[in-house]
Amino acid sequence: MILKRFPLLFVPVLWLAMIAEPAVAQEGPLRDEQPPIAVDEIVRQFAARETEFGIARNNYTYRQDVTVQELDANDRVRGEYRMVSDILFEDGGRRRTEKIVYAPPETLDRIQLTPQDLEDIRSIQPFVLTTDELPLYDVEYQGKQQVDEIDCYVFEVSPKVMEEGERYFEGTIWVDDLDLQIVKTYGKAVPDLFKDGQENLFPRFETYRQQIDGEYWFPTYTRAVDTLNFRSGPVRIRQIIRYEDYQQFGANVTLTFGDAVEDDVAPVPNDPEN
């Protein structure tokens, strides 16, 4: 998110409806407990399961509801961005598209979303650590912890090298010790971007998954409440993303590794950095 370029005039506080948020998962204490098999083998296995899940998710339709709010010092809403879109299949399943179904005029006061923000919403915040992406990250085992009575392996994840123009996740993941899939993510998209005196800063977020089809854990809820510390002053924001109504496309879908799925993404704002 960047600061808007135009001079700011007085903007009244918007008394928008508060976002109804689900209960936050309960976490037990982090335990210094060694797993029954080598950590490297656990990482290899959960990356393979995440690869399977990534392919499976590309065969599901769902609704994505994104809200980004700018808050004042008392956490009252000053402005809001809202985008509701359906991820669906067209042309007999040959084309996967994102279609906007609701997008009221945005009323954000001091900040605006960038293409990097929207890309993070699509790919970083519902983070999937596949076998192909595993070599890009350092993954360090931290111990075991319960999340809503689910025993999890806890890992710290950080990019080994950040290539220009690429986006990465940095933070903590919780991996179900039975299904070997990510059930919770906490961290941020990196790097923050600085170019031509302009700052593009990104909030810390947490994403929760639920088991939708009895086999795979799907992202269902992302939440960020953070303060972006621009040089000209802090801006407090809240972001809520819901992923709802997952439906598998067709009854005869066969999941195979390597099948490409075309994505037609929703329009994004002009990139203020170009």
Pairing of strands 137-147, 150-159: antiparallel
Q: What distances in angstroms separate CA 152 from CA 27, 41, 129, 144, 215, one per listed residue? A: 10, 15, 16, 6, 16
The identity of residue 22, as a single letter, is P
Using an 8 Å Cβ cutoff, are 98 and 266 in contact? yes
Query: What is the structure's pLDDT at 181?
Result: 96
Residue 36 lies in a domain: no
Rounded to whole angstroms, the Cα distance separating 76 from 72 reads 5
Q: Which two tokens stand for residue 109?
A: 């006061």
Range of the domain at 198: 48-246
Average pLDDT over all residues of the chain = 86
Q: Is residue 261 part of a domain?
A: no
Question: Residue 90: inside a domain, yes or no?
Answer: yes
Q: How many domains is the chain partitioned into structurally?
A: 1
3-state SS of the chain is CEECCCCCCCCCCCCCCCCCCCCCCCECCCECCCCCCCHHHHHHHHHHHHHHHHHHHCCEEEEEEEEEEEECCCCCEEEEEEEEEEEEEEHHHCEEEEEEEECCCCCCCCEECCHHHHHHHHHHCCCCCCCCCHHHEEEEEEEEEEECCEEEEEEEEEECCCCCCCCEEEEEEEEECCCCCEEEEEEEEECCEEECCEEECCCEEEEEEEECCCCCEEEEEEEEEEEEEECCEEEEEEEEEEEEEEEECCCCCCCCCCCCCEEECCCCCCCCCC
Determine the Cα–Cα distance for residues 244 and 175; give it in Å rounded to an integer: 22
> What is the Cα–Cα distance from 182 to 48, expressed in whole angstroms?
12
Residue 13 within a domain: no
* pTM of the predicted protein model: 0.84
* Predicted confidence (pLDDT) per residue in 175-216, tens digit: 999 999 999 999 999 999 999 889 999 999 999 999 998 999
d(CA 224, CA 205): 4
- The candidate with the shortest Cα–Cα distance to 150, out of 174, 131, 176, 171, is 176
Is residue 206 a contact partner of residue 200, using CB atoms and an 8 Å limit?
no
In a domain, 257, yes or no: no
Beta bridge partners of 170: 188
Predicted pLDDT of residue 262: 43
> Within a domain: residue 193?
yes
- The first and second tokens of residue 128, run together, are 């999937």
| Residue 90: pLDDT band with limits 50, 70, 90 | confident
Q: 174 - beta bridge partners?
A: 154, 184
Token duo for residue 238: 């809240």
pLDDT tens-digit profile of 33-54? 999 999 999 999 999 999 999 9
User: Is 165 domain-assigned?
Assistant: yes
| Residue position matching structure tokens 């490409």 | 260
Residues 212, 218 contacting (CB under 8 angstroms): yes
Q: Say which range, 83-92, 155-164, 175-184, has the weakest mean pLDDT.
A: 83-92
Residue 263 located in a structural domain: no
pLDDT tens-digit map of 113-156: 999 999 999 999 999 999 999 999 999 999 999 998 899 999 99
For residue range 215-259, what is the model confidence (pLDDT) as tens digits?
Answer: 999 999 999 999 999 999 999 999 999 999 999 986 444 433 334
